[in-house]
């Protein structure tokens, strides 16, 4: 700092420790996530306003739309602190942003470690949540679509096995159940054939050759029986397996997680990198601002020094 002091050879009046690259890179970084936060809040508000049922997704502790709004608001506040702090070179706002990101990162790390250590407890909680979702399957269309998507994606049915659907009042196998879906399972449990049929034409040799070269074919859409799950709970396991997926979704999800650990690790790393970048940039900028303040204070105190 000595060669930058007032009156010394090589002193530059416009010298600053604050790097414009770091400053505006941090601002751009926060501005992008600030926009994302606004979008999240908007989607959450829209989803909440368009809900017709107050018991929406009653199986969950928190409505996803509310969770989206809460996360969006917190993210909006943090990124706002980062944007303004970077532009105004405000140490207080930058420290708030940096400390908050650090705390969030540590909490995420602790949650991941605890989830790995107490995997059996986590599995029990997931089982309870899935069973509760089965009970409320007909209560909300969004929940219904979510369960159907999961069962079709993982080729599964129910939590532990397909008979778990008897917990739902509409699919319950009780003899006094008046529902037309008694002892049935949802359509998403059914095994759907995905075969394709190829058609050719013999209207001419040239056309036939062209079709062979281009490998053109037309898929035939088979009419699907949406009532294929009716009465499946009354069948024994191996008989029901000819028509529906009899294995539960919990084991399928656990197997999927075990076989995609590298993918999940990559996703976790992708979420962690922006946080680490934000922490690093904000800390660098804070140190640069402190050095700049120290330089300005030194120059002010020695402005009238007769020896300089």
pLDDT of residue 193: 61
pTM here? 0.68
Domains, the chain: 119-197+228-286 (1.10.1450.10)
Of 84-93, 201-210, 245-254, 288-297, give the lowest mean pLDDT range.
201-210
Read off the pLDDT of each residue in 45-56 and give the average, rounded to a whole number: 64
Residue spans of alpha helices (H) in 89-215:
91-117, 119-135, 141-154, 205-214
Q: List all residues 6 or more positions away from 130 whose beta carbon is below 8 Å from its beta carbon.
A: 159, 249, 250
- CA distance linking residue 209 with residue 231, whole number of Å: 49
Is residue 289 within 8 Å of 91, Cβ to Cβ?
A: yes
pLDDT tens-digit readout, 70-89 = 899 999 999 999 999 999 98
For residue 199, the SS3 value is: coil
- CA distance linking residue 188 with residue 157, whole number of Å: 8
Of 44-48, 175-179, 241-245, give the lowest mean pLDDT range.
44-48
DSSP character at residue 146: H
Half-sphere exposure of 233 (CA within 13 A, CB side): 22
- How many other C-beta atoms lie within 10 A of the C-beta of residue 286? 18
For residue 60, is pLDDT > 90?
Answer: no
pLDDT of residue 195: 41
Looking at the chain, the whole-number percentage of residues with pLDDT higher than 90 is 36
Is residue 102 within 8 Å of 57, Cβ to Cβ?
A: no
pLDDT band of 1, cuts 50, 70, 90:
very low
Counting Cβ atoms within 10 Å, is residue 271 exposed (0-12), middle (13-18) or buried (19+)?
A: exposed
pLDDT of residue 62: 59
Read off the pLDDT of each residue in 46-53 and give the average, rounded to a whole number: 68
pLDDT tens-digit readout, 103-133 = 999 998 898 888 778 877 878 888 888 888 8
For residue 133, the SS3 value is: helix
pLDDT of residue 220: 38
For residue 39, is pLDDT > 60?
Answer: yes
Q: Is the model more confident about 188 or about 261?
A: 188
Read off the pLDDT of each residue in 150-177 and give the average, rounded to a whole number: 91
Read off the pLDDT of each residue in 168-182 and give the average, rounded to a whole number: 90
* CA angle (24, 278, 269) in 5-degree steps: 135
Selection from 39, 41, 37, 34 nearest residue 69 by Cα:
41
Tokens, residue 134: 């089965």
Read off the pLDDT of each residue in 205-230 and give the average, rounded to a whole number: 51
DSSP character at residue 231: T
What value does the mean pLDDT of the chain take?
Answer: 80
- 190 backbone dihedrals φ, ψ, rounded to 5°: -75, 150
Read off the pLDDT of each residue in 26-39 and give the average, rounded to a whole number: 93
Whole-angstrom CA distances from 11 to 5, 16, 20, 259, 268 are: 6, 11, 20, 62, 48
């Amino acid at each position: 700092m000595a060669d930058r002091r007032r009156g010394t050879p090589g002193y530059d009046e416009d010298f600053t420790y604050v790097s414009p690259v770091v400053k505006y890179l941090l601002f751009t970084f926060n501005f992008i996530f600030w926009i994302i936060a606004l979008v999240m809040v908007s989607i959450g508000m829209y989803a909440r306003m368009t809900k017709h049922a107050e018991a929406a997704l009653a199986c969950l502790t928190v409505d996803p739309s509310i969770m989206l709004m809460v996360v969006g608001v917190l993210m909006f506040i943090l990124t706002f602190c980062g944007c303004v702090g970077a532009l105004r070179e405000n140490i207080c706002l930058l420290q708030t942003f940096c400390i908050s990101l650090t705390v969030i990162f540590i909490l995420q790390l602790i949650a991941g470690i605890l989830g790995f250590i107490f995997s059996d407890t986590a599995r029990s909680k997931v089982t309870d949540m899935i069973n509760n979702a089965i009970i409320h399957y007909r209560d909300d269309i969004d929940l219904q679509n979510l369960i159907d998507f999961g069962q079709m994606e993982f080729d599964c049915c129910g939590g532990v096995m397909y008979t778990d659907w008897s917990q739902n009042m509409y699919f319950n196998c009780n003899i006094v159940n008046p529902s037309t879906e008694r002892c049935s399972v949802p359509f998403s449990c059914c095994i759907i054939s995905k075969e394709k049929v190829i058609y050719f034409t013999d209207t001419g040799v040239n056309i036939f050759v062209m079709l062979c070269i281009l490998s053109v074919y037309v898929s035939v859409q088979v009419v699907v029986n949406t009532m294929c799950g009716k009465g499946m709970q009354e069948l024994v396991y191996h008989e029901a397996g000819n028509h529906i997926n009899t294995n539960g979704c919990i084991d399928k999800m656990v197997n999927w997680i075990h076989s995609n650990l590298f993918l999940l690790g990559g996703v976790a790393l992708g979420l962690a990198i922006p946080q680490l970048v934000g922490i690093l940039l904000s800390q660098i900028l804070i140190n640069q601002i402190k050095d700049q303040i120290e330089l300005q204070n030194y120059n002010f105190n020695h402005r009238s020094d007769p020896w300089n």
